[in-house]
């Protein structure tokens, strides 16, 4: 009798464990991007270098969910950025600098998460720009990644909402706390965004505001990895993509306005220029992009970006052309070749030179870069 009872309990326990396992999942994932890059002018000299993340930052992460019933789930993501060439941590040596959040997700309403997260411009507008996709990456960024479409920085201390898909329409908002006892607005951030998809047509728009980036409050929403040191940064934009057959064409507009600004350049933004600013600056970006899948494995893409800026008492005009070819060896592994050319004019005696994101700034008004590499996803 006792043996029968124990056997029944064992079967029941095994069945319960199986159900619990089916309701909770944890996934290890990542991307490794490694290659060889060339720059025609990095601080005044030609450069060949082994690179990590020339297109997409190398990373690994854990993501999971637990089914709480009634269409509600607990979710989390912990994502690390690293250099595959040196093994060093990225995002200013943070363990999980790319993303780190936990929250709840509802099948009916959407998700509410807390932690270090992407802003709404990255979520809803960046996928329409060439650098926000696998078809362009970092090299295709707008000058200095001034609009953060390449997610040069994330928002710490943030609370974020993202809606479910309402027949193609999605929206979201984020607020990043300053975590300053006597400075609620000192280094805080907030953003909103939305997107709509109908057939091959996609629209997206977003707004981001950062107050006090680079301030003495290093525990704020955007601190040591800020692209700009400014009292206030406002970034907004919109874009559209249209897919027809094997082709996709798009247009993206963004503008970034800075006030009480003192510096461009940080170790995370990809620029080493360290350009000083004299209080205010503006960057207006116009991007036309296209890509074409010649075969299921082979694709070509390109973009032209015109940036009309105002800084250091001059109005520089940036022209950048980016071209890429990519060949998929499998669903998870591809090889690529990409090149970009940037020229900046109307700089006066400001000392501003060409500066393609991911490379050291040029000592002249022009810069050509190229890279070949391999990406593997797991």
The pLDDT value recorded for residue 127 is 96
Residue 241 is classified by DSSP as E
How far, in Å, CA of 273 to CA of 355, rounded?
A: 8
* pLDDT, tens digit (0-9, with 9 covering 90-100), for 307-363: 999 998 899 999 999 999 999 999 999 999 999 999 999 988 888 999 999 999 999
The pLDDT value recorded for residue 271 is 45
How far, in Å, CA of 219 to CA of 276, rounded?
A: 24
Residue 267, strand partner residues:
none
* pLDDT, tens digit (0-9, with 9 covering 90-100), for 76-105: 999 999 999 999 999 989 999 999 999 999
pLDDT of residue 18 exceeding 90:
no
When comparing pLDDT for 161 and 181, which is higher? 161
Residue 56: CB atoms within 10 A of its CB come to 20
Residue 115, strand partner residues:
101, 158
Best CA proximity match to 290, nearest among 129, 54, 56? 129
Best CA proximity match to 177, nearest among 263, 259, 228, 116? 116
Residue 129, strand partner residues:
none
DSSP 38-96: EES-SSSS-EEEEEE-SSS--EEEEEEEEEEETTEEEEEEEEEEB-TTT--B-TTT-TT
pLDDT of residue 60 exceeding 70:
yes
* pLDDT, tens digit (0-9, with 9 covering 90-100), for 123-148: 999 999 999 888 999 999 999 999 99
pLDDT of residue 266 exceeding 80:
no
For residue 321, how many C-alpha atoms fall within 13 Å in the half-sphere facing its CB? 5
Residue 101: CB atoms within 10 A of its CB come to 21
Could you give all domains of the chain from N- to C-terminal order, each with its CATH number? Answer: 44-377 (2.40.160.10)
| Element spanning 123, H or E | helix 120-124
How far, in Å, CA of 120 to CA of 134, rounded?
A: 19
pLDDT of residue 270 exceeding 70:
no
- Phi, then psi, of 200 in degrees rounded to 5: -90, 0
The pLDDT value recorded for residue 264 is 87
DSSP 283-335: EEEEEEEEEEESSSSEEEEEEEEEEEEEBTTB--EEEEEEEEEEEESSSSEEE
Residue 51, strand partner residues:
35
How far, in Å, CA of 271 to CA of 141, rounded?
A: 11
> What pLDDT band is residue 20 in, cutting at 50, 70 and 90?
very low
Helix (H, G, I), strand (E, B) or coil at 23: helix
How far, in Å, CA of 243 to CA of 186, rounded?
A: 43
How far, in Å, CA of 111 to CA of 278, rounded?
A: 41
Residue 299, strand partner residues:
293, 326
* pLDDT, tens digit (0-9, with 9 covering 90-100), for 200-235: 999 999 999 999 876 677 788 897 788 998 899 999
Work out the percent of the chain whose per-residue pLDDT is above 70: 91
Furthest-apart CA pair in the chain: how many Å? 95
How far, in Å, CA of 117 to CA of 319, rounded?
A: 31
The alpha-helical segments, DSSP class H, found in 146-216 are: none
């Amino acid at each position: 009798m006792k043996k029968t009872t124990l056997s029944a309990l064992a079967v029941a326990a095994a069945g319960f464990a199986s159900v619990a396992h089916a309701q909770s999942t944890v996934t290890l994932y990542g991307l490794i991007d490694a290659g060889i890059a060339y720059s025609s002018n990095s601080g005044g000299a030609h450069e060949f270098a082994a690179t990590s993340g020339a297109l997409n930052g190398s990373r690994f992460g854990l993501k999971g969910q637990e089914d709480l019933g009634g269409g509600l789930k607990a979710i989390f993501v912990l994502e690390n950025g690293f250099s595959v060439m040196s093994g060093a941590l990225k995002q200013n040596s943070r363990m999980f600098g790319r993303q780190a959040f936990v929250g709840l997700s509802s099948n009916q309403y959407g998700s509410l998460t807390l932690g270090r997260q992407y802003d709404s411009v990255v979520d809803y507008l960046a996928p329409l720009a060439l650098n926000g996709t696998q078809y362009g990456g970092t090299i295709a960024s707008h000058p200095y990644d001034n609009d953060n479409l390449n997610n040069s920085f994330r928002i710490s201390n943030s609370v974020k909402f993202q809606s479910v898909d309402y027949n193609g329409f999605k929206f979201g908002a984020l607020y990043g706390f300053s975590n300053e006892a006597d400075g609620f607005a000192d280094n805080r951030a907030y953003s909103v965004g939305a997107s709509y998809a109908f057939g091959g047509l996609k629209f997206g728009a977003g707004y981001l505001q950062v107050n006090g980036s680079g301030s003495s409050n290093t525990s704020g929403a955007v601190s040591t990895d800020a692209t700009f040191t400014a009292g206030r940064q406002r970034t907004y934009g919109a874009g559209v993509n249209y897919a027809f057959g094997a082709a996709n064409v798009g247009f993206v507009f963004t503008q970034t306005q800075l006030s009480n600004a003192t510096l461009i350049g940080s170790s995370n933004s990809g620029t080493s220029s360290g350009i000083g600013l004299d209080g205010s600056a503006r960057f207006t970006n116009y991007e036309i992009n296209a890509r074409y899948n010649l075969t299921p494995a082979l694709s070509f893409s390109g973009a032209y970006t015109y940036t009309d800026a105002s800084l250091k008492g001059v109005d520089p005009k940036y022209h950048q052309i980016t071209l890429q070819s990519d060949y998929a060896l499998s669903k998870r592994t591809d090889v690529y070749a990409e090149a970009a050319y940037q020229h900046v004019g109307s700089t006066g005696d400001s000392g501003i030179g060409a500066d393609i994101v991911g490379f050291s700034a040029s000592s002249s008004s022009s810069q050509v870069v190229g890279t070949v590499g391999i990406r593997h996803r797991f």
